[in-house]
Structure 1
Amino acid sequence: MQTGPLETGGWLGSPVGRVLPGLGLAMLIAVAAFALRQLPGVGMLSPLILAILIGMGFHNLVGTPAIARPGVAFSLRRVLRAGIVLLGLQLTVQQVLAVGGIGVALIVVTLIATFLFTSWLGRVLGVDAGLTQLIAAGSSICGASAVIATNTVTRARDEDVAYAVACVTIFGSLSMVLMPLAGGLLQMGPQSFGLWAGSSIHEVAQVVAAAYARGQEAGEFGTIAKLTRVMMLAPVVLTLGALATRRLRRDGGEASRAAPPVPWFVFGFIAMVGVASTGWLPSGLLSGSATLTSFLLATALAAMGLETDIRKLAAEGLRPALLGAGAWVFISLFSLGLVLMAA
């Protein structure tokens, strides 16, 4: 009897064959996300956000086929980590130096204060610890990229990741619209406004849109400030991984013998920052790597959407949304206060 393609002896039974259907589906959704950004009014959303929305829509309306599951899992692990490593090529030590010592200190203090405040507020509201950490990371560091990177050590549910991404998308978009208006009312200078936008708005794309609305100088400074903030992703994820490992060992039992969630890929991220800082890479290569990075992360978030059940997402209730709103208000006002004091 001839072996069918779905059986162990067929090509889909090989390691590569098992991965291809789900990986191909996730990549196709990522392509669709990039294409949708060309539509009027959709360009303000990053392809990462569009990818998880399309993936969720496909999963909940059509259903993710069983044959795609190995490839979806591959996208959530290997493709995601490759994207985060390449993200390091978009950052340089020189960019941090351009922000200045006061600017870097302001960004770091804002990040730490926001993360701690969000963690405290999550406990007060009774939000699950894993979801709280995801919202805290997304709000304080760099939106969806921070959410999915942090989840490699928090190991929260896919629904929690989707909820956290939704929070940073909604509230970051509000900042993108409201902050240029507030900056005008406060008569903030271009560098002050750029630093405020870069240190408080969630997504890189949202920072660019808001900062450039106040002029070229504000846009450039805001983008550099935001990329400096993105660089903090590595130490935060490493710290959370170390804390998670300590909790496992402290709790004992079977959990203590489980593999500790050490995010080794973060060291690759740091290495890529070092490579980019040398200035040896041509601008064309850096531009291409930025596009590839966005595509890989969009593929990973598409896979996340393909495993997200909207009914479970709705079951989270309003408390995580209140947590996201609280984090947004805190980081906006806290960073504004520091910027005005430093001006």
Structure 2
Amino acid sequence: MAAVPGLALTVTIAATGFVLREIPGVSVFSPMILAIVIGIAFHNLVGTPAVAKAGVVFSLRRVLRLAIILLGLQLTAAQIAEVGATGIAIIALTLVSTFIFTVRLGRMLGVERKLAELIAAGTSICGASAVIATNTVTRAPDEDVAYAVACVTVFGSIAMFAYPLLPGLLGLDAHAYGLWAGASIHEIAQVVAAAFQDGQQAGEFGTVAKLSRVMLLAPVVLSLGLMATRRAKRNGNSQMTAKAPVPWFVLGFIAMVAFNSAVTIPSEAKSMIVMATTFMLSIALAAMGLETDIAKLRAKGFRPLLLGLAAFLFIATFSLVMIKLVG
């Protein structure tokens, strides 16, 4: 029951996004993009009520993960195989390079290590989910977690708006654009919103590429946990190694892909599933907007913000160069 007020708010914002999309000129934007814009505006101009907090968190976590699971019903094993060894290699190399770049640049800029690691994880893996998961081993202060979440949400949102304008300019076909979006945009929902702007094929491939990247969350967090334990031993502290979280929603996504590959779902039912999935993703993005406090980006000064921007530009550029090099 505690989640009802916040869930009602995110549902209302998502529904508003669908309604606004019917206005001429606004239809070029997906309801997901409109939902996050409305959410950010509401939170920073009006303020998200405290009573809505539980529902916003529920929308951002549970609803988003359920929507990701249902996305599996739009894909088949044959489509996932299209990512291939080369695509996976690009995704993995981009992730590792971005994480190392961000942490090292953070040290050069004087950003506190824990905050730099959170921004690195959120940028290189999967946004807010990676920030929260990484903090199970980083154990940063709450304000650092809030800053990192706000940071990756803002820059991921910028990517979500900017990327759909670039495929033609950069000479990217649907396959290359989807891989670029999946390998470099921060949040899963942001990838979906940006990739599908270039068509169904780009959207589906971008989703698969992003989920392939999300699957690397557990080993990254486990590695950070091992490094944190070593640092603790060197400092004479006895700390328990935190367990890396299992991305269960990715396992659910895989299960749905397997089901969709084995069973033919009627077109009418699939159309309803697609609509429901888009609406749930819009709910999650509305919640993301309601969690984005622009004031928090200013509270810690300019350097962490600069780090987040540099990480965003690095992952976008590095992954694009890799894709261009392999053709």
The TM-score with structure 1 as length reference comes to 0.70
| CA distance, structure 2, for counterparts of residue 179 and residue 318 of structure 1 | 31
Residue 160 of structure 2 corresponds to residue 176 of structure 1: no
Say if 1:159 and 1:313, in contact at 8 Å, map to a contact too: yes
Say if 2:77 and 2:257, in contact at 8 Å, map to a contact too: yes
Match of 2:54 among 59, 70, 76: 70
| CA distance, structure 1, for counterparts of residue 73 and residue 287 of structure 2 | 24
Shift of residue 296, structure 1, vs aligned partner: 2.5
Matches within 5 A, 1:225-304: 225-243=205-223, 246=226, 251=232, 256=240, 261-304=245-288
Structure 2: gaps of 5 or more residues: 136-143, 186-190
| CA distance, structure 1, for counterparts of residue 24 and residue 301 of structure 2 | 32
Match of 1:59 among 18, 38, 43: 43
| CA distance, structure 1, for counterparts of residue 224 and residue 277 of structure 2 | 27
What number of residue pairs does the alignment pair up? 310
Partner of 1:12: none
| CA distance, structure 2, for counterparts of residue 224 and residue 76 of structure 1 | 22
| CA distance, structure 2, for counterparts of residue 87 and residue 154 of structure 1 | 25
Say if 1:198 and 1:225, in contact at 8 Å, map to a contact too: no
The TM-score with structure 2 as length reference comes to 0.73
Residue 153 of structure 2 corresponds to residue 165 of structure 1: yes
What SS does the corresponding residue of 2:127 show, helix, strand or coil? Answer: helix
Residue 78 of structure 2 corresponds to residue 94 of structure 1: yes
| CA distance, structure 2, for counterparts of residue 115 and residue 41 of structure 1 | 39
In 2 relative to 1, CA 159–47 (structure 1 residues): closer, same or farther, beyond 3 Å?
A: farther
- Which amino acid is 2:290 matched to? L
| CA distance, structure 2, for counterparts of residue 304 and residue 125 of structure 1 | 28
1:286-322 deviations in Å (ceiling 9; x for gaps): 4433333333333234334434443223224443443
| CA distance, structure 2, for counterparts of residue 173 and residue 59 of structure 1 | 20
Partner of 2:141: none
| CA distance, structure 1, for counterparts of residue 26 and residue 223 of structure 2 | 39
- Which amino acid is 2:219 matched to? T
- Which amino acid is 2:222 matched to? A
Say if 1:99 and 1:224, in contact at 8 Å, map to a contact too: no
Match of 2:19 among 31, 35, 57: 35
| CA distance, structure 2, for counterparts of residue 106 and residue 257 of structure 1 | 30
Shift of residue 49, structure 1, vs aligned partner: 4.3
Quote the RMSD (CA, aligned, Å). 3.9
Shift of residue 258, structure 1, vs aligned partner: 7.9
Say if 1:96 and 1:104, in contact at 8 Å, map to a contact too: no
- Which amino acid is 1:82 matched to? L
Say if 1:176 and 1:201, in contact at 8 Å, map to a contact too: no
